[in-house]
Amino acid sequence: MQKYYAGMNKLYVIKIGGNIIDDEKKLSSFLKVFASMDDKKILVHGGGKLATKLAEKMKVEQKMIDGRRITDAETLKIVTMVYAGYVNKNIVAQLQSFECNAMGLCGVDGDMILAHKRKHPAIDFGYVGDVDTVNVPLLKNLLQQNLSLVFAPITHDMGGQLLNTNADTIAQEIAKALSHEYEVKLIYSFEKAGVLLDADDERTVINSLNPSYYKELKKEEKIFAGMIPKLDNAFAALNSGVNKVIIGKAENLGELITGRSGTTIVNE
């Protein structure tokens, strides 16, 4: 198996998209590459379509606004079971089979990620959380023990309330928090080859994207609307000390790690 080396004080924070979670073969292939990374690494995942399928079976109506799940009390139970339960432990078990010593976590464990219930002037998102703090000392301690950490996007508010938090945001906040301790590369891996000029043509990947070019593309409405939150997160991460942000296809993780694929987000 090919090895991917980064260095003693380097850390990868990698977000995996739902399309890979939903495909057993693709997930196994992705995790095999992730396991082969001989450096410090954190994987952040969502739940794919499994939470929605389970909600349908349990006759719990699901509401989405701008791609974000409205999380009522019953839905919170479902996403916690799926994200922090089955999906998280399935990923950890597969990583162990690839001789990668992994630990599955969510924001509640060890008070890792403290959040608050989202406040919005017009929309009640229910039990959706926005991140306040990340427990850097505990994270660093676990990483120093050569554990690969696997995060499900469930947080808490220190008042006994679980919260469903966007996985992209979890990845960004962990990367930002650890950027003072490590040289952090944040990778958003999803179904597209990178940021595309034409959302239907993977040959139109933008190799490098800086703030001025991004502003120009948004003005000309050449950025697919669904990419804007991801890109806003990417630039926010860079502005907070993250060394590099890469967006690209999960199946090409090895090439994303070495910079031979995807879109690199830069701050100059």
pLDDT of 3 > 80? The answer is no
Mean pLDDT score across all residues of the chain: 91
**Could you tell me the pLDDT band of residue 197, with boundaries at 50, 70 and 90?**
confident
pLDDT of 160 > 50? The answer is yes
Question: For the purposes of burial, counting CB atoms within 10 Å of the CB of 120, is it exposed (0-12), middle (13-18) or buried (19 or more)?
Answer: exposed
Q: What is the pLDDT of residue 192?
A: 87
CA nearest neighbour of 62 among 164, 177, 130, 193 = 164
pLDDT over 90, % of the chain: 69
**Could you tell me the pLDDT band of residue 253, with boundaries at 50, 70 and 90?**
very high
Domain-by-domain residue ranges, the chain?
10-265
Q: What is the pLDDT of residue 67?
A: 64
Residues 10-265, CATH architecture:
3-Layer(aba) Sandwich (3.40)
More confident residue, 118 or 225: 118
pLDDT of 32 > 50? The answer is yes
Q: What is the pLDDT of residue 5?
A: 42
Contact 230, 172 (CB under 8 A): no
* Verdict on whether the full-model pTM lies above 0.85: yes
